[in-house]
A and B are shown apart, each in its own frame.
Chain A
Amino acid sequence: MKKKKRNVLCYLRTHRRVWGLTRLELASLFGLRSAGHISRIEHGKRAPTVEVALACQVIFGIPPSVMFPRVHTFVEERVMRNIYRLDLALSNTTNLSGLRKRKLCSQVLKRAISKSKKLEGV
């Protein structure tokens, strides 16, 4: 039998507990009424809103891509797939607007390749 995949959701719970904050205290810092919202984010039942992600960066000094790696990976994969499709669709374009868009696509793809090489240690 194959080993199941690990399910690390986010680091919000870790950082909250490192600083001894309760869910209710963190919710009040975020400007939320209930601690249930924090619980759902911690357990991966709800994706963090932009406000929550930015509030985490303000409070803990950790960027959203590090605090919520799973959401970041999911968004990154979806965007990269769409960028690749756009690049393919614009492959025969000759107008200036299209060429500008292709430049953006190539920059995004180049950034992704250099990032993955860095992660692999190449």
Chain B
Amino acid sequence: MTDANQQNLVLSIYPFTRGFAFVLFEGPESPFDWGVKEVKEKHKNTKTLDEIKKLIDQYRPEVLVIEDLTNGESRRTSRIRKLYRMLAHLATTEYVDLQRYKKSQIKECFGFVGASSKYEIAKAIAIQIPAFAHRIPPFRKPWMSEDPRQNLFDAAALGLTYFARHVRSPYADDVSP
């Protein structure tokens, strides 16, 4: 883990109503930093963008992973949509590769372990990354609002989808056709 052999960092961001969740990965099973930052006051997008820029300046990730809203399958607010556009611009100006994944791609990625709902995906992530196991939110009933901790797992799901789709498995050669 010295400077010479450090892997590239991947930053996945998942904004929500009261702020944003982020997970910084060194590898699919080794998160480097993570958290949920709350932005409550006015000008949320500007403040959120400032916080994300601070993270990028601190860690210099190679890749920024966000949700893909282009096909309309996601029901995010206009503010979040605007924030995603601002994030895309930030990635360009900071020379960070941008990757976007649709909800369907995330579900497809976690479908291999039998997880389809948000809660099941969170449980699958908690098994893969024990550091997140104690942060798993309780099962959400229809009358309950979403737990802020769920957003951390949504961010982690984006990062893990990136690794599943872009990083070659070390066991790939063992699979016979």
Contacts and interface: CB of A to CB of B under 8 A. Distances in A.
B3 to A, nearest CB: 5
Nearest to B93: A1
A77 B172 CA distance: 38
Contacts, number: 47
A4 B2 CA distance: 18
Contacts of A73: 2-4
Contacts of B33: 13-14, 17
Interface in A1-33: 1, 3-8, 11, 13-14, 17-18, 20
Contact of A8 (B34, B57, B59, B131): B59
Interface of B: 1-6, 9, 31-34, 57-60, 95, 130-131, 134
Contacts of B131: 17-18
Chain A, interface size category, equals 20 to 34
A5 B61 CA distance: 10
A21 B11 CA distance: 23
A96 interface: no
B28 to A, nearest CB: 15
Nearest to A14: B32
Contacts of B5: 119
